[in-house]
């Protein structure tokens, strides 16, 4: 199950207090102060991992705390620092300060880290306050508290190609044809209820595809499943606009494409401006789909491919175009 948003509360560890201590050995007549400093509080760190793709764990645990630093000791011994708390999140997680909505980090690369709450500094022991005029100080300082804040985590899947289109255009079938993914496929609208990922492998190259639930006109007002999943194709450099080509004239199909592009524009102008490949599906149901695609390409001024998700017609050619569009990496 994909969980793409979560709110958590994090608190770094407090610094340990400084120690009050004096040397009291029998044969040390002028012992003096020897209280050590307190240890550092642990940081709260977020780390991106490719081994998870959901924020579901944060449904079960909202509060996260790092260890406190320990109090200093005698004989100038510093207290032990608290262990950092490392929280694993999926690659593609955006971290926001819930109170200000400021973006603190965008964790994209595996192993990428960010300290979201810094641990408190340890207090000073009384040995720190010895001076020529104060040979036996009885002053210490307490440790500083660690930072605490509420975070909003937002997951945007990382993929090379996003598949968009109306419900029942055949997006899930296309994903299963292009990759080894096995999404749910059925003959009714909104079969896909959450984004699905698939991978195309060719020689030493890999493309990641993302299939999101279908869009309809009025998605910005919440119709259908709304715009809530479009964020998962915001990182994709290329979008496949899959269209059911089983019926309709060139003008009717062009209108459908323009309607969904308007929904992309309402969600994000940057998303609407992405490189887009129009693909007409269901060639197995219509003999003139190739001629219609040629006319549509002229009318819209873009490349239009014809495929059949059922028979596999045009799938290898589509994969070739996708690898060319993405280019070497």
Confidence category of residue 241, pLDDT binned at 50, 70, 90: very high
CATH class belonging to 161-326: alpha beta
Section 40-47 average pLDDT? 98
Domain ranges of the chain: 5-155, 161-326
CB 8 within 8 Å of CB 63: yes
CB 305 within 8 Å of CB 242: no
Share of the chain above pLDDT 90, in %: 50
Confidence category of residue 182, pLDDT binned at 50, 70, 90: low
Give, in order, the Cα–Cα distances in Å from 67 to each of 21, 32, 185, 206: 25, 32, 48, 41
Give the pLDDT confidence score for residue 13 in this predicted structure: 98
Give the pLDDT confidence score for residue 190 in this predicted structure: 42
- Provide the mean pLDDT of the chain: 87
Which two tokens mark 204?
A: 């030493």
Give the pLDDT confidence score for residue 181 in this predicted structure: 55
pLDDT of residue 180 exceeding 80, the answer is no
| H runs (alpha helix) in the chain | 57-60, 171-178, 250-267, 269-272, 289-300, 315-326
Section 274-280 average pLDDT? 91
3-state secondary structure of 65: strand
How does pLDDT run across 111-147, given as a tens digit for each residue? 999 999 999 999 999 999 999 889 889 999 999 999 9
Confidence category of residue 176, pLDDT binned at 50, 70, 90: confident
From 280, 273, 271, select the one nearest 253 (Cα to Cα). Answer: 280
Section 189-216 average pLDDT? 74
Which CATH number applies to 5-155: 2.70.210.12, 3.40.800.10, 3.40.50.1980, 1.25.40.10? 2.70.210.12
Least confident of 36-40, 112-116, 289-293: 289-293
Q: In what order do the strands lie in the sheet with 93-97?
A: 63-65, 5-11, 148-155, 93-97, 103-107
Section 208-217 average pLDDT? 77
Which two tokens mark 149?
A: 């804040």
How does pLDDT run across 57-114, given as a tens digit for each residue? 998 899 999 999 999 999 899 999 999 999 999 999 999 999 999 999 999 999 999 9
Give the pLDDT confidence score for residue 188 in this predicted structure: 37
Same fold, 5-155 and 161-326: no
- What is the rounded CA–CA span in Å between residue 36 and residue 33? 9
Section 158-170 average pLDDT? 86
Residue with more model confidence, 175 or 328: 175
Count CA atoms within 13 Å of residue 301 on its CB side.
1
What does the DSSP assignment read for 245-270? Answer: -SS--HHHHHHHHHHHHHHHHHH-HH
CB 18 within 8 Å of CB 141: yes
């Amino acid at each position: 199950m994909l969980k793409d948003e979560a709110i958590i509360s994090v608190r770094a560890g407090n610094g340990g207090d400084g120690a009050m201590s004096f040397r009291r050995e029998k044969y040390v007549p002028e012992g003096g102060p020897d209280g050590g400093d307190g240890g550092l509080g642990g940081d709260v760190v977020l780390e991106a991992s490719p081994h998870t793709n959901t924020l579901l764990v944060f449904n079960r645990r909202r509060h996260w705390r790092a260890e406190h630093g320990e109090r200093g000791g005698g004989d100038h011994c510093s207290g032990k620092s608290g262990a950092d708390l490392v929280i694993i999140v999926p690659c593609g997680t955006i971290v926001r300060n819930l109170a200000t909505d400021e973006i603190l980090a965008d964790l994209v690369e595996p192993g990428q880290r960010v300290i979201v709450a810094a641990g408190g500094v340890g207090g000073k022991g009384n040995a720190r306050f010895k001076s020529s005029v104060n040979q036996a100080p009885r002053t210490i300082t307490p440790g500083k508290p660690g930072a605490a804040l509420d975070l909003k985590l937002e997951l945007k899947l990382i993929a090379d190609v996003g598949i968009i289109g109306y419900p029942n255009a055949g997006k899930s079938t296309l994903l299963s044809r292009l990759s080894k993914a096995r999404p749910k496929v059925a003959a009714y609208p909104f079969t896909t209820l959450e984004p699905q990922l698939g991978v195309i492998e060719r020689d030493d190259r890999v493309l990641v595809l993302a299939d999101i639930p279908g869009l309809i006109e009025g998605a910005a007002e919440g119709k259908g499943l709304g715009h809530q999943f479009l964020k998962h194709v915001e990182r994709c450099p290329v979008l496949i606009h899959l269209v059911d080509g089983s019926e309709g004239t060139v003008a009717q199909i062009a209108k459908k494409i323009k309607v969904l592009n308007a929904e992309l524009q309402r969600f994000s102008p940057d998303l609407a401006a992405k490189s887009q490949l129009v693909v007409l599906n269901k060639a197995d149901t219509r003999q003139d789909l190739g001629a219609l695609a040629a006319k549509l390409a002229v009318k819209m001024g873009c490349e239009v491919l014809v495929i059949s998700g059922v028979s596999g017609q045009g799938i290898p050619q589509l994969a070739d175009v996708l690898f060319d569009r993405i280019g070497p990496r």
